[in-house]
Chain A
Amino acid sequence: DGGITQSPKYLFRKEGQNVTLSCEQNLNHDAMYWYRQDPGQGLRLIYYSQIVNDFQKGDIAEGYSVSREKKESFPLTVTSAQKNPTAFYLCASSLPGGNTGELFFGEGSRLTVL
């Protein structure tokens, strides 16, 4: 079945450590996104990529980094510069251009900083 796989589902990190969240899709979508979700805040866009080897900052990119070396993969690194990293992280993908823009989501990764 086609879909988006995020791993790990739960992750604990000590302060000062970088962590990388994995996102893989087999939907053959060109565009991929990372969102952060906090209670009562909705979804906030961290980074997005419309094509391999290209990505743009979203609304809250500070303290995060991404890469897009393959169409199927869009990993997110939460660096030690992110002041409040504890959150639920969602990866999504979509068809680009004239498509409706509908997003397909993974199951999410919950990061807790100890």
Chain B
Amino acid sequence: AQSVTQLGSHVSVSEGALVLLRCNYSSSVPPYLFWYVQYPNQGLQLLLKYTTGATLVKGINGFEAEFKKSETSFHLTKPSAHMSDAAEYFCAVRDFGAGSYQLTFGKGTKLSVIP
């Protein structure tokens, strides 16, 4: 079964600094990969996804992620953090090897932005 590991349950960055949120997955075949964002007491919103093709994926709000098959990673980055980026971020994987439509989620990383 696939699994998703997000390194760091809490990450703090200064406003204007680089944001780097780490995600590693285990999967028997190249998966589809997703990053979602959640603001307090709200649902999850898709930031970006990797399916096939270009391994550097650009999403909303200036975020991007790169699929690195050799490292089984899909880290999320943003060059300059804004106060509005403070939220919880979830990495998810869909593993076609299981023939399932389900996504497996990581446990999330809460991002704090310091003024």
| Interface of A toward B, CB cutoff 8 Å | 4, 6, 31, 33, 40-43, 45, 48, 50, 58, 88, 90, 92, 94, 96-97, 100-108, 110
**Size category, B interface:** 20 to 34
Report the Cα distance A110→B42, complex, angstroms.
10
Interface check B80, CB cutoff 8 A: no
User: How many residue pairs between the two chains, A and B, have CB atoms under 8 Å in the bound complex?
Assistant: 56
Closest 7 CB pairs of A and B: A105-B43, A42-B107, A101-B94, A43-B105, A105-B44, A107-B43, A42-B105
Q: Are B44 and A101 in contact (CB under 8 A)?
A: no
Q: Are B32 and A42 in contact (CB under 8 A)?
A: no
Shortest CB distance A81–B (Å):
24
Shortest CB distance B74–A (Å):
14
Q: Are A40 and B101 in contact (CB under 8 A)?
A: no
Q: Are B102 and A40 in contact (CB under 8 A)?
A: no
